[in-house]
A and B are shown apart, each in its own frame.
Chain A
């Protein structure tokens, strides 16, 4: 077995040192009824070539996003990641290291986490950020529970423009903790309805921008209304590239910003692993979930970094912790930071503008095919009204080798929006892709 260094001789010699007659003696504490003498009913070990062949065959049964015109977004986006990013994250010292609990021999990871926190704080326009959450959706749930701790109120209002998976995740987790989750009806410009729902019992309002229908909203007025009622403003962003162009959550009055960071540095990976961005105002710091990295000095006065404020965390506080989270999304956060460092603020701005430009082109093509675009102000994603079922249209266009986006009904089948199709364009979308979509739509809808 290529991953097991011990030889039969080693094993015999080691048992001798231990003073055990055989390996079974080391499992003596397992009740006899639970000891399995025979091998499990699974295939035996396999060589690298054999395993690679099986996995390649499975992978070949999937159609990767780059295989042709592709317009899916809705919380996960196809972007180009520079080759150096993947090279760097595969370095042994990053890939095969553990959580930096011995800071003297983990300064690489720690300094990068400090850079990551600074980048996330700058992108979201807030003062502090943590070392990341599992993904945007769980970050959203954590933000809502954090608002409960800060305000000691139980009610959270989720805008109807919040990604339905985020809403469902928040409902599941925050409700379990005893909160009341008010989920507003899905609507293109759902943000307009949020202010009216805020009352004196509201712990927080959660608004996504660009929202799940692609609508860009200035949440300043909502934040003012939330603050007037003593509630926190939580702003969610599922497309991190939009931080490069749109007003930051902090600028618009957010107290907590949650983002899905996948778009920067990370692949689609069929939904995970991704990286949740989490930032807030400094005064809320001690109620934050997750790991934090802080600057300090060593015994010689040299600058260094450590995990800090761990008295919020489960390993110290146990049942009184701010969250049960015990990891961050380390390697994905590293990929995010390296890609962000390559981009810089300048490159991110250019990339965001390019995404927006491609989406304008997409909008024109969709309208050219006679469809109504529902999204009034968009970044790189639009909602389109189609005749009949959007799901059926997506299936039909597969015959033209066009993956035409995500039917809204897949995210939220009970909303009654079966005729709404979500389409995203990024820098990876070419004019040819858009032309192919336009032509296929025209052909199908003309039939």
Chain B
């Protein structure tokens, strides 16, 4: 999910007098004020013992560099540096991580263990095919699960993230139109509530983007869609459940209208976790949909990636899928790696090699652990948890769409903060002081001061209650006029509110000897 900087302050405004106690070293209790590696010395140090080379590089005379200006650390120093830094992060293993549209669920450690088996972790992507049969079998099984769960006949496994999957899906659509003599279709229709990646991907492929209006109840406006469909439209891109956390009730009609106009239906599958095991996108008229393995199937988010974004495809689009893919033959499984023969219509290649194999292993372990019954329960519990938060917070906060159930995430607007002097951003930052990661803020764009809460199925009722209790207490504080609690927040985090405007105005993206901030002097120097 995304960070919105539109409609909210990007500079701290709070009164800094309120911070109270200051330590002499800059540390906050056990939280160290950790310097950069470049400030820790070690310009000639290394933490790796490397045997001396027997041959020199005299054969490369004139082609070698003088020096590599980077410091090193011994292992104990490196451990300490990175462990100290780790302690400044929030993590799903610490508490609920309610970022709407991001699906921060528990990451089973079995998956990590499986991905580290030597047969997977130390397998070269170009090793002889006869020595990689287990890996190909795993890809084949994963593909079978993804196809069965979505009700789609084909899947391209190689895309490396959700947005890469969108690109793959649109390239399939483009190739299909070109093959049908319909290359003049150059427009993609995208709802105003879409993820930013949708219009960005469409533009990347050379399409122009037109927005579809939204109804008052948070769904695609069918009349507007009908008016905008035509012989110039290549595809629509719809997220379902959508970014307001709502199921598109008219999705089958949307598909029918789209196909009637000769266009394809691309579904952004970011929210597939809400319906997995209960609803098959193939039954909704979808032609292509990416699946974020890091959302629905629990591969770790790792502080921003790597993701994985396999794309399921309808029969009409399947022939255009990119190489490579797995097929079975007389000698076992093999990879089709080139766009020729059986892959003659493939639109090309999304990346080097076979995709995010490490993520395939983790996602498959997750699917096998849950099974058909458990995955259905995943969707049910995810939806139940979101509706529980919505029910508990209604009357305290204002749901953007109060009527009817939500799916896996509950969306609130900022109407309830009117008159308090507290903004969505302030409220979010105050949550940090209470020990919670904020929800997604200011997204989707269609709702004013949006707060999008996605608990996922791996939160217990106790944690949900703890979370709702904290939100309720903060809401009460806002209503009572305790604006300072919010304006200066966070007070208790490793750092207080950061100046994003300063960062963007004078970008400092690499270390140089003179820091712009006021780094606290070490105790010994005082």
Contacts and interface: CB of A to CB of B under 8 A. Distances in A.
B166 interface: yes
B89 A36 contact: no
Given A297-B499, A324-B167, A98 B131 contact: no
B202 interface: yes
Interface residues of B, number: 222
A151 interface: no
A122 B68 contact: yes
Contact of A65 (B122, B166, B392, B520): B122
Given A178-B206, A245-B60, A137 B352 contact: yes
Interface string B434-448: 000110000100000
A74 interface: yes
Contact of B124 (A65, A98, A172, A411): A65
A287 interface: no
B7 to A, nearest CB: 11
Contact of A111 (B85, B117, B118, B370): B85
Contact of A99 (B197, B303, B428, B502): B303
Contact of A319 (B56, B90, B200, B509): B200
A201 B284 CA distance: 47
Interface string A120-148: 01110101110110111110000000000
B374 A272 contact: no
Interface string A299-319: 111111111111101111111
A180 interface: no
Contact of B78 (A84, A119, A326): A84
Contacts of B121: 64, 267-269
Contacts, number: 747
Contact of B72 (A86, A91, A347, A354): A347
Interface string B1-31: 1111110000010101001000000100000
Contacts of B432: 102, 104-105
B33 to A, nearest CB: 8
Contacts of B509: 114, 117, 128-129, 285, 292-295, 308
User: Interface residues of A toward B: which range?
Assistant: 35 or more
B458 interface: yes
Interface string B352-370: 1111111101001101111
B458 A106 contact: no
A253 to B, nearest CB: 14
Nearest to B278: A36
B370 A3 contact: yes
A327 B405 contact: no
Nearest to A216: B63
A414 B237 CA distance: 37
B429 A104 contact: yes
Contacts of A2: 369
Given A46-B368, A299-B12, A107 B89 contact: yes
Contact of A29 (B303, B405, B493): B405
A95 B85 contact: no
B404 interface: yes
Q: Residue among A105, A137, A351 with the most chain B CB within 10 A?
A: A105
Given A94-B302, A114-B36, 6 more contacts: A62-B133, A122-B70, A260-B352, A267-B358, A356-B53, A357-B54
**Smallest CB-CB A-B distances: 7 pairs:** A344-B72, A59-B119, A271-B353, A303-B517, A172-B348, A331-B302, A61-B134
